[in-house]
Homo-oligomer: A and B are copies of this chain.
């Protein structure tokens, strides 16, 4: 069977490019003495998580407990949940996981600390804790060294919890500055920072320049995508995931409709539309309905015919895989496998 036998829209991954991407990032981290802890949010596929560990990753990262439950069930043993877990429902589930796997969580508040504490108490297993700090994204994370130290001090005093270090997203120049300040304050308090975990594929190749960083959390590098190409972390040749689509209508000379809408590509936008049609780089996907991609052909001399198949490079791989129950695996044009996206939809 070949990729041409697939009905569209179809998310197709080129396994040779995936292998190359996995090896390259592992090699980069190895050569700089950085631990690699891949984020499985991009692929959500057991085979790829195992493969990442097999190649040298120290463990994996999950954003949600539901993802971790899938990964522990298939034998992954070292998992960081890089997300604040809040409340007793989450504590109970974390406790179950900690009974089987080495679990680490990131916290940025007393409430998240209480959740981790409750989980450790009911599981009996030790849970590692990183304190998350904000390095400029203004997302989660404490905003001062004092806050980080106060949480770390509480963690070290809490039975069942182990303070491992600090975490942030993404890794930035500010990361190094925060860590330098934290090192001094934590040293004075007699608390060791063993791990400094940074994240984000766009600037992954600069991770070794960030002072104090010990661990790299990256997800998108497994497939890359159009946004990564635009941000310079990859070239088009590194992009492993495409959505194969069919031209289903050509109402006018300058308009084509593809059968991949926001339910196949997501609504994640970039400056130049909702994805790149590899065969027609001058065409612009200027609007998505749920099942239609509206393609403007005014600046494309070549015009696709109805029934023609094209490959769309999505803007953002991580949200695309989360839309599909299965990913088709290809080597070149050969369709060699189909993988269930086992952690798809595990947002809880």
Interface residues, chain A, with chain B CB atoms under 8 Å away: 7-10, 41, 63-64, 83-87, 89-90, 108-109, 111-112, 134, 138-143, 246-252, 255, 257, 259-264, 266-269, 289-292, 294, 306-307, 318-319, 322-325, 345, 347-348
Contacts and interface: CB of A to CB of B under 8 A. Distances in A.
- Interface majority SS on A: helix, strand, loop or mixed? loop
A347 B260 CA distance: 8
27 contacts: A7-B89, A7-B90, A8-B348, A9-B347, A9-B348, A41-B291, A63-B291, A83-B248, A86-B306, A87-B246, A87-B307, A109-B306, A111-B306, A112-B248, A112-B249, A112-B306, A138-B294, A139-B251, A139-B292, A261-B347, A263-B319, A263-B347, A264-B347, A266-B267, A267-B267, A267-B319, A291-B347
Given A9-B347, A41-B290, A261-B347, 6 more contacts: A111-B306, A139-B251, A262-B266, A266-B266, A324-B345, A325-B345
A63 B263 CA distance: 11
Nearest to A10: B348
Contacts of A140: 248-249, 251, 257, 292
A307 B86 contact: yes
B319 A322 contact: no
Contacts of A251: 108, 134, 138-143
A35 to B, nearest CB: 23
Contacts of A141: 249, 251
A250 B110 CA distance: 11
A306 B143 CA distance: 16
A249 B322 contact: no
Contacts of A292: 139-140
Nearest to A296: B138
B143 A262 contact: no
A323 B348 contact: no
A279 B83 CA distance: 24
A319 B262 contact: yes
Contacts of A252: 143
Contacts of A7: 89-90, 348
A290 B63 contact: yes
Contacts of A87: 246, 307
